Structure 1
Amino acid sequence: MKSFVNYLYKNQDLFYKVFLFLLTTFLIVYLFPKGGKFKYEIPKGKPWQYENLYAPFDFAILKTPEEISAEKNKINKTHIPYYDYNADVAEGVKAALEQEFTELFPDTLSRQETTKLRNFVNKTANDIYENGLLQEIVPLNPNQLIYLRKGNEATEVAYQNVLKQTGLRDYLNKRIDQGGLQLFREELVGLFFDTVKPNVSYNETLTKNDLESKYNQISYTRGSVERGTIIVAKGEVVEGDKLQILNSLKAEYESQVWSKANYYWVVLGYGMLVFLALLMLMLFIRKYRYDIFQNNIKVTFVFFNVLLMVLLTTLIIKFNVQYVYVVPLCILPLTIKGFFDSRLGLFTHVITVLLLGFIVPDSYEYMFLQIIAGIVTILTVSELYKRANLFITVGQITLVYILSYFAFTIIQEGSIYEVEPETFLMFLLGGLATLFVQPLIYAYEKVFGLISDMSLLELSDTNSALLKELSDKAPGTFHHSLNVANLAEAASNEIGANSMLARVGALYHDIGKMKNPTFFTENQTTSVNSHDELSPRESADIIIEHVINGIEIAKKRNLPDRVIDFIRTHHGTTTVYYFLQKEKEVNENVDPDDFRYPGPMPFSKETAILMMCDSVEAASKSIKEPNARLIDEFVEKIINKQMEEGQFLNADITFMDIQQVKKVLKRKLKNIYHLRIEYPE
């Protein structure tokens, strides 16, 4: 049992990766829709490339969206809306008219005139409320029929027969003229306007329910295909009815109700394909990015981003598949490249697109667009910390999407008139969403403890608190760090390493010297040397301690691990040569390991470059009368000694790279010392 526990403990990194791999596979398969996958790509407007296709079962032929839309428009044109008639309002108005009439007209009128006026008012009120008075909001066609509901009965009435409140004055004037009551026009019009109220209102709920009921009666199919019937022959052009029958077969196939056994087989198939795709990604990381493979946090970061893109896409597809291009999939290669490198970013992007190809419609078109956009992202984006570069890249991504979609559409439709402008809007929204990559990278840095070029740019500011403190406490070391940073940046650019990372690492590599600044030559301003009163062993311990002190300071100030790596490795496992030789003068049996830095040795191009630049820059101060030949020999001697000691064995740097670094250092040192060509006398 104990041996098994020890085995688990020793291999915990491997077990974690296996767990992460299986968990990601499970979650992706869980997110995928579980249904049959139609095994043919339908080549619209092109010859059928497969063998003759026969109907595998009976299925109905679906109507096209255009046909469904035409039927709905026909229903809309013939649909009769519902209006409610309020009888209580009509009776109340008639009673109010009777009362107002008595108060309005005086007793001085003759009985004949009074009777004529009363009859006019009663008849006009009855005529107005025969079909009701409507406060019109949305006018209809005058000949449009409506249902007028009086209680539980609904009768068909022409819309023009319902009096509108806006036409009440004209209606009253016409009736007054017909009745010969012009002398009482003002009183009668005022009477009706003060008393009459609308009693007909539009019943939106009932109208809408009736319309939906008619929509539901629409048949979405036209005819059927029996099992065994030939659908399309090899070489036959797929268009018209053939195209619609194929689309109907695909829809029927993918929407079938699967039995439990079928369901498990589908899940197994998805699981195997997702397993293989993620396995390729894991093997790529292990073979070509072993430093990332060894870091569980970095591996988790890569798989988390793949899972995030799958999650976003599946959610959008479930909401509305037309918005699938709104998902900013190019954020994936941008973030991976921002933290690692372009090759891993592109490979991860391609694997993710292959996974999404299982669930998106028009999978070939989707994968082509996304892979091309990912390649453009990798090729064009550089120095992501510069905002202008990000906007330019987003513009190029959007343009590639639009051009690719336009090309696919004219190939499939044979005309530019079938291009849908709404899709261009989707591409534009997806491009704008890609701008979210900067705050996302910031969040990733905090969650996963990684570092991007944007953070490196902030750290390279010499006005930062830590570098200001270094310049105050150890000005000579600060000046030395600036020189090393310039050398490291130039050398990194020469061999294609991360120049920003190398520069930042160089700026902070000697911050440990702040603890005992006067024990380092560059900070000694007087002829008094602090080492004069110490033994060589004690002096060596103080010199070596600046690495440990630097790591402690860096961790307290929350510097990223990638920057702390430069502090750890800038001396590798070399010895404090000066004090080792002094000790040998009095003790021949001295152990060199007592004067050796703890390491580790550099394990990347950038840390190896820093070791070379740091040693060369520091030792160059000892050249009393520098000239071109001395500098060349000096650089060769120092770097060759580091190579002989095997300091670069763990770094991913070639002999050619080292030769290029030597050339840069020689050229830069000659510029620093302002050396001129020696002309013959």
Structure 2
Amino acid sequence: MKSFVSYLYKNQDLFYKVFLFLLTTFLIVYLFPKGGKFQYEIPKGKPWQYENLYAPFDFAILKSPEEIAAEKERINQEHIPYYEYKDQVAAEVTADLEERFSETFPDTLTPNQLNQLETFVDQTVEDIYEYGLIQEIVPRDPDQLVFLKKGNVASEIPYERIIKQNELRDFLNKEIDESQLQLFREELVGLFFDTLRPNVSFNEKLTQDELQSRYDQISYTRGNIERGTIIVAKGEVVEGNKLQVLNSLKAEYESQVWSQANYNWMILGYSLLVFLALLMLMLFIKKYRFDIFQNNIKVTFIFFNLLLMVLLTVLVIKFNVKYVYVVPLCILPLTIKGFFDSRLGLFTHVITVLLLGFIVPDSYEYMFLQIIAGIVTILTVSELYKRANLFITVGQITLVYIVSYFAFTVIQEGSIYEVEPETFLMFLFGGVATLFVQPLIYAYEKVFGLISDMSLLELSDTNSKLLKELSDKAPGTFHHSLNVANLAEAAANEIGANSMLARVGALYHDIGKMKNPTYFTENQTTSVNSHDELSPKESAEIIIEHVINGIEIAKKRNLPDRVIDFIRTHHGTTTVYYFFKKEKEINQHADPDDFRYPGPTPFSKETAILMMCDSVEAASKSIKEPTSRLIDDFVEKIINKQMEEGQFLNSNITFMEIQLVKKVLKRKLKNIYHLRIEYPE
């Protein structure tokens, strides 16, 4: 058993993905409309556009949903629920009270007091369990009648006679006051609360069986239509009884086409197709986006968006299939691209369109239009954080919809006169709805803890309140952060990491230095060093504390968690080497852990890049007479030491990528320290 639990714990990520996969499959199949499709669209409140319709077979006229709902509501109002009374619980509680009574009340009390208390307890228990105690789940009207079933006998009583658990304290206090036992209130209440247990529960099965029995007696039909009878004539307005007869014919048609056996096979077919489609998406993520596959939150986010688009489309189809193109399906690739990348966005969009092709009318036309629109979305949108780009992309998507629909209509009808102008309006509404992607991305950031380029762009503004505060309080640190941001951005671009994220992380990684700015050399403007009056250990504590202070400031200013990760990891678990060496000069047995940053070590390419850039930029200030060879050796020495200490073991950065980062840092530092020729005066 222990090994099985250990196996489950070790593979919990995999089990979660399997659960998510199966749950999504189930929900999509559940959402899909099932049954045969009636060959006519029923235009409620509009003229019948088809030829005269005659009854193809005998069928009954169904009552309207409103009529059925009214009958069920009447039954619900008249129906009396059943509650189960358990005698055994009451007997057990009485026995427990007798045992605990002597433990609760000491022998020092007078016989009269003990007798009075014992009588009170017995009478109170009898009163409580006369009709029972219930842990109320479904609140009911106190005057409502219910059946209380004791054994095989059910008695009809007002619901208020059953004591609710949340009313127990008030009931006990009232009884204690009436019995003049206020002196023992705390002991009595504690005794009852430790001992009493609910013994009445709602008998849902019996209640539902009784309710269903009454439902089964409802007649769902009123009258019949014989075969050959005219149902509706061409041009006749479909409303009232005509509408109900047409709906009855549609229901009868679908029930005849789909028997129970057909229905089960259809569910199996839907399940297999949805399973295969989602499996392709999962395999794609695992093979080509393994970092996303390892993150359950990101996988959940992708499947949630896919399910959301299916849900919206199904709801619109159930409302009116004519509005199917109002659903802004292109929000899906826009959102996925905004948080991840174009390839994953397009693949997810295609899988979603394939799933929706099962349930929409003119599925080939629908799928063609949506896939083309998705491709245009992915190819045209860039820098989503720029509002103009989003409007341009939405305009292009709408244009593609209109042109494609026009082409299909001309092919099918052979004339431009059959084009429906209102469909163009649907495309326009769908395009406008796509603009909702920006607030949606903002909401996703808060719910799923993700961060988009739009938020990163806002954070990268050096005129933001927090960065201006850093510039005022610690100008040297601010300048250092700018330099590190430039280095980190260049390095991230070189290895294909998120350069915007790396830049933002670099800008904020040292905000903790605002608390004690003069204890950091870049902010010291005089020859006085604040560390001269401190021991090496005290100095190291202040230096290390800037990481903790930075995290506190970042959380207080509501910085995203992914940015806070840079503050936590930019020193990893390295030591404050300068003060450690000073301490060793005083104490040979100095503990390096006293001078070690709390960590954790970097756990992404971007945080690993920041650690390298931060160390190299800070240490480069110590180079007196820089040369090309000196800079190369300097960069190699610092980064190799970090590798030897295992600082990059938890980040998914490769040795080749580290070499590329080194190359960028060497090139950038050489540009920074490039010596110009000395101009004559």
| TM-score normalized by the length of structure 1 | 0.64
Question: Which amino acid in 2 is paired with 1:529?
Answer: N
- Contact 2:50 2:234 (8 Å CA) reproduced: no
Q: CA deviation at 1:449?
A: 2.8
The residue aligned with 1:541 is 541
The residue aligned with 1:270 is 270
The residue aligned with 1:605 is 605
The residue aligned with 2:352 is 352
The residue aligned with 2:487 is 487
- Contact 1:628 1:675 (8 Å CA) reproduced: no
Cα distance in 1, alignment partners of residues 632 and 410 from structure 2: 63
In the TM superposition, what are the counterparts of 1:303-322 in structure 2 within 5 Å? 303-322=303-322
Change (3 A) 1:676 1:496: farther
- Contact 2:334 2:345 (8 Å CA) reproduced: yes
Cα distance in 1, alignment partners of residues 263 and 41 from structure 2: 29
User: What whole-Å deviation, never above 9, does each CA across 1:604-645 have from its counterpart, x for those lacking one?
Assistant: 232222122211211111112334443344333333433444
In the TM superposition, what are the counterparts of 1:161-176 in structure 2 within 5 Å? none
Q: CA deviation at 1:282?
A: 3.2
Cα distance in 2, alignment partners of residues 513 and 670 from structure 1: 28
Cα distance in 1, alignment partners of residues 386 and 418 from structure 2: 39
- Contact 2:51 2:233 (8 Å CA) reproduced: no
Question: Which amino acid in 1 is paired with 2:232?
Answer: N
Question: Which amino acid in 1 is paired with 2:367?
Answer: M
Task: Please say which of residues 436-445 and 462-471 is displaced more in the overlay.
Answer: 462-471
The residue aligned with 2:432 is 432
- Contact 2:333 2:345 (8 Å CA) reproduced: yes
- Contact 1:17 1:296 (8 Å CA) reproduced: yes
Residue 528 of structure 2 aligns to a residue whose secondary structure is: coil
- Contact 1:627 1:675 (8 Å CA) reproduced: no
Change (3 A) 1:592 1:413: farther
- Contact 1:473 1:514 (8 Å CA) reproduced: yes
Cα distance in 2, alignment partners of residues 36 and 462 from structure 1: 61
The residue aligned with 2:388 is 388
Residue 385 of structure 1 aligns to a residue whose secondary structure is: coil
The residue aligned with 1:567 is 567
Cα distance in 1, alignment partners of residues 654 and 418 from structure 2: 55
Cα distance in 1, alignment partners of residues 473 and 419 from structure 2: 67
Change (3 A) 1:454 1:259: same
Question: Which amino acid in 2 is paired with 1:599?
Answer: G
Change (3 A) 1:555 1:288: farther
- Contact 1:360 1:366 (8 Å CA) reproduced: yes
The residue aligned with 1:511 is 511
Q: CA deviation at 1:454?
A: 1.6
The residue aligned with 2:232 is 216
Change (3 A) 1:626 1:306: same
- Contact 1:477 1:522 (8 Å CA) reproduced: yes
Task: Please say which of residues 288-297 and 512-521 is displaced more in the overlay.
Answer: 288-297
The residue aligned with 2:467 is 467
Change (3 A) 1:665 1:10: closer
The residue aligned with 2:520 is 520
Q: CA deviation at 1:215?
A: 7.8
- Contact 1:536 1:582 (8 Å CA) reproduced: yes
- Contact 1:36 1:266 (8 Å CA) reproduced: no
Residue 572 of structure 2 aligns to a residue whose secondary structure is: coil
Change (3 A) 1:283 1:566: same
- Contact 2:48 2:232 (8 Å CA) reproduced: no
The residue aligned with 1:109 is none
Cα distance in 2, alignment partners of residues 270 and 417 from structure 1: 38
User: What whole-Å deviation, never above 9, does each CA across 1:396-425 have from its counterpart, x for those lacking one?
Assistant: 222333343344445545565654444333
Residue 313 of structure 1 aligns to a residue whose secondary structure is: helix
Cα distance in 2, alignment partners of residues 389 and 279 from structure 1: 34
Change (3 A) 1:652 1:295: closer
The residue aligned with 1:361 is 361
- Contact 1:519 1:531 (8 Å CA) reproduced: yes
Residue 603 of structure 1 aligns to a residue whose secondary structure is: coil
Cα distance in 2, alignment partners of residues 338 and 274 from structure 1: 26
Cα distance in 1, alignment partners of residues 498 and 466 from structure 2: 22
The residue aligned with 2:553 is 553
The residue aligned with 1:79 is none
Question: Which amino acid in 2 is paired with 1:297?
Answer: I
The residue aligned with 1:453 is 453
Question: Which amino acid in 2 is paired with 1:565?
Answer: D
Residue 396 of structure 2 aligns to a residue whose secondary structure is: helix
Matched, 1:342 2:358: no
Q: CA deviation at 1:512?
A: 1.9
In the TM superposition, what are the counterparts of 1:41-56 in structure 2 within 5 Å? none
Cα distance in 2, alignment partners of residues 379 and 654 from structure 1: 30
Question: Which amino acid in 2 is paired with 1:216?
Answer: V
* Structure number with bigger Rg: 1
- Contact 2:513 2:550 (8 Å CA) reproduced: yes
- Contact 1:29 1:274 (8 Å CA) reproduced: yes
Question: Which amino acid in 2 is paired with 1:332?
Answer: L
Q: CA deviation at 1:580?
A: 3.4
Change (3 A) 1:330 1:63: closer
Q: CA deviation at 1:590?
A: 5.1
The residue aligned with 2:29 is 29
Cα distance in 2, alignment partners of residues 326 and 661 from structure 1: 47
The residue aligned with 1:299 is 299
The residue aligned with 1:87 is none
Q: CA deviation at 1:267?
A: 1.6
Q: CA deviation at 1:325?
A: 1.7
The residue aligned with 1:98 is none
Task: Please say which of residues 251-260 and 525-534 is displaced more in the overlay.
Answer: 251-260
Change (3 A) 1:497 1:403: farther
Question: Which amino acid in 2 is paired with 1:616?
Answer: V
Question: Which amino acid in 2 is paired with 1:515?
Answer: K
Cα distance in 2, alignment partners of residues 331 and 540 from structure 1: 50
Task: Please say which of residues 617-626 and 328-337 is displaced more in the overlay.
Answer: 617-626
- Contact 1:357 1:364 (8 Å CA) reproduced: yes
Cα distance in 2, alignment partners of residues 602 and 252 from structure 1: 65
The residue aligned with 1:635 is 635
The residue aligned with 1:106 is none
Q: How many residues align?
A: 487
Change (3 A) 1:593 1:528: same
The residue aligned with 1:323 is 323
Q: CA deviation at 1:541?
A: 3.3
In the TM superposition, what are the counterparts of 1:364-375 in structure 2 within 5 Å? 364-375=364-375
Cα distance in 1, alignment partners of residues 362 and 506 from structure 2: 51
The residue aligned with 2:201 is none
- Any stretches of 5+ residues in structure 2 without a counterpart? 53-228, 237-250
User: What whole-Å deviation, never above 9, does each CA across 1:143-164 have from its counterpart, x for those lacking one?
Assistant: xxxxxxxxxxxxxxxxxxxxxx
Change (3 A) 1:362 1:296: same
Cα distance in 2, alignment partners of residues 604 and 62 from structure 1: 57
User: What whole-Å deviation, never above 9, does each CA across 1:169-200 have from its counterpart, x for those lacking one?
Assistant: xxxxxxxxxxxxxxxxxxxxxxxxxxxxxxxx
Residue 451 of structure 2 aligns to a residue whose secondary structure is: coil
Change (3 A) 1:652 1:414: farther
- Any stretches of 5+ residues in structure 1 without a counterpart? 38-59, 73-212, 221-250
Question: Which amino acid in 2 is paired with 1:596?
Answer: R
User: What whole-Å deviation, never above 9, does each CA across 1:372-403 have from its counterpart, x for those lacking one?
Assistant: 32222222222111101111211222233334
Residue 668 of structure 1 aligns to a residue whose secondary structure is: helix
Cα distance in 2, alignment partners of residues 615 and 252 from structure 1: 76
- Contact 1:35 1:256 (8 Å CA) reproduced: no
Question: Which amino acid in 1 is paired with 2:641?
Answer: K
Q: CA RMSD in A?
A: 3.7
- Contact 2:335 2:437 (8 Å CA) reproduced: yes
Change (3 A) 1:406 1:636: farther
Question: Which amino acid in 2 is paired with 1:462?
Answer: T
Task: Please say which of residues 386-395 and 576-585 is displaced more in the overlay.
Answer: 576-585
In the TM superposition, what are the counterparts of 1:642-681 in structure 2 within 5 Å? 642-676=642-676
